[in-house]
Each structure stands twice: as structure tokens, then as C-alpha cells.
Amino acid sequence: MKNRILKIEHEVGLGGVAIGTAFENITDKQAEDILTGAWAAGVRHYDTSPWYGLTKSERRFGEFLKTKNRGEFIFSTKVGRLFEPVSESEVPPVMWKNPLNYNFRHDYTCDAVMRSIEDSLERTGLDYIDIIYVHDLSEDQVGDRYKFFMEQAKNGAFKTLSKLRDEGVIKAWGMGVNKIEPILECIKDADPDICLSATQYSILEHDDEVEYLLPAVKKAGVSLVSGAGYNSGYIAGRKRYNYKEQIPVKIEEKKKKMDTVAKKHHVDLVHAALQFVLAADAFAAIIPGASTPQQVTDNVKARTTEIPKVFWDDLRAEELIHKNAETPT
């Protein structure tokens, strides 16, 4: 069984989706303030992707982190898309509010992975990258090309990243996806170390993960990192769920019931959501995004906030969490 590489003091990290202008046009100065606040709060685990803001988030993280002692922090980014500069009029429609002028294409071949890593190192100015995730190789992102790209990755990205890890160029690799199936397929056919599970395991929605994903990664000796553990802000009160404005009715109803239980026990549901994820033994870390320095500080605080056991007992009694879900002790 592999060693768990991130179950250390860096359990609470910072994700780069918001800094990439996913929800609002965060300026360079605001991004710098968020990163400065994160560092001051003790955050030493940072995750981004060239996809976020069409390379903007990655550049912003690099601009800040390249001034720090490289041995003091963990940095992860992603492969799976290649980017080419274009004119402003040629930028494709994307979710980012103010992306840079790039177009992109999915590519999971060996050559594409090597180029992507080289580009990320150049954009960030860092000497090396700790963890590489194979990004968005799932049906919700690539549609009916999923099987084609998965075969491409099995013959390209997976083997290449294992080789780079074994040579010491990177420390670890895995999938970075919004679905559990690609992670299950990857651990069956390759030897990843750690996978970024986004929007999948949260206090609001986790049944399939408890029943299928967590047992599989435990058996394989693979760790997990949680992305979008607040369901892209919905748990914190945002009017979006898993990056979409349409919120499932059953989720709205479930959150109302959870809010009632939380209010009864004077619990901050955001704090409970963070602790719920980290209570699962498979999760080495959680990397919430942030639009303000205060959000980062609150995420760090959430790790040690005392939450009464009766709160978790009530959630389980009302069948608001899976009967076998791990909870804080």
C-alpha cells in the first residue's frame, strides 16, 4: 500500500478557481491579497490549473509563490488541455469572467503532458511542481469523447506521469475530476498516488462516494483531496451548486433541514462541511477556493472549531448523512 503523502499539516489548502475569475472579475490586487492572507494564515498547500481563467490563475499563484521558499509549500496543477494565444475576438465562450486571450484543446498524450508541465513551470516561475492532476477527463467535460480520451491517457498521460514520479521530477499524480468513474478506472489501470475529487464528496451529497469511491481508493492505497467541498459555495450561501445556477430541489430541501439542525446546536454549517470531508480517512486535504482573504481565514479556523457530537448524531438520525459516513471524533 502506498504512503499517504499529504496527511500532514497542510490539510486545509487554497484552490484557484475563484482566483481564475470563475464567479466574479477578481483583480490582480485582490488575488494578491487573497494569497497573502492565505500565507499569513498558515496555508501551505496550493492548487490551480491552466484552465482557470485560461492560464490567469496559474500565473497569479506563480507570481506570489515564486517569492517564497520553495520547500515550504505544496503546489499542484493540472494537465489535459493545451493553450495557444489568440486575439481577444477569438477567445472561446468559457465560464471565466475575465480570462486571458487563449484558446485550448484537450490532449492527454505523452507529448501534451510534457509540454503542459513545461508551460506551467514557465508561467509560474517555480522550480518544480509537487502534484500533477489529469484534469477533467470525465463525461461532464469531454462528452462522448470520454472513451477516446481515456484510452489516450492510459497510453500517454498515466504512463508519463508515473515515469516522472519515479524519476523524482514530480512527487505524485492522479485524476482531477468531477465524477467518481474516471478515478475508479484510473486506479484499475494505472498507479496514481492521489486524486482530486471535486464536487463529489460533501456534507450534502456523498452516498455514491461512501459506497463506491472510498472503499476503492482505500484498497488501492490512493489518497484523495477534496475540491469544491462546499459545492462551489452553495453551503456557504451562494446561489450556485457545483458551478451551476440551477440548484436541485432535493438539495435545497436537504440544506434547509441541515440548517435547522445546525442552528439548533449553534454550528456553522460551513465549518461542519469542512470537518465532514476531513473526517473521511481517505481525504488527505481539502482545498476550498476563496474570493476574499477573510474566507481563507475562516476555512483555516473551521478545521479546529469544536462541533458537538450530538450535531452529527442528529444528522444521521434524520438521514441527512449516509449511515456509514465517517464523522469527526
Distance CA 220, CA 175 (A): 14
Distance CA 93, CA 96 (A): 9
Task: Indicate which residue of 52, 108, 201, 241 is catalytic.
Answer: 52
Q: Is residue 278 within 8 Å of 218, Cβ to Cβ?
A: no
Q: Is residue 108 annotated as a catalytic residue, yes or no? A: no
Q: Is residue 47 annotated as a catalytic residue, yes or no? A: yes
| Amino acid in the structure at residue 258 | M
How many Å separate Cα 106 from the centre of its chain?
A: 19
Q: Is residue 254 annotated as a catalytic residue, yes or no? A: no
Task: Indicate which residue of 46, 56, 78, 171 is catalytic.
Answer: 78
Taking the chain, what is the end-to-end CA distance rounded to the nearest angstrom? Answer: 25
Neighbours of 158 (CB within 10 A): 24
Distance CA 94, CA 97 (A): 8
Burial class (CB in 10 A: 0-12, 13-18, 19+), 45: buried
Across the beta sheet with 14-15, the strand order is: 14-15, 45-47, 74-79, 131-135, 172-177, 194-198, 223-227, 283-286
- Active site members: 47, 52, 78
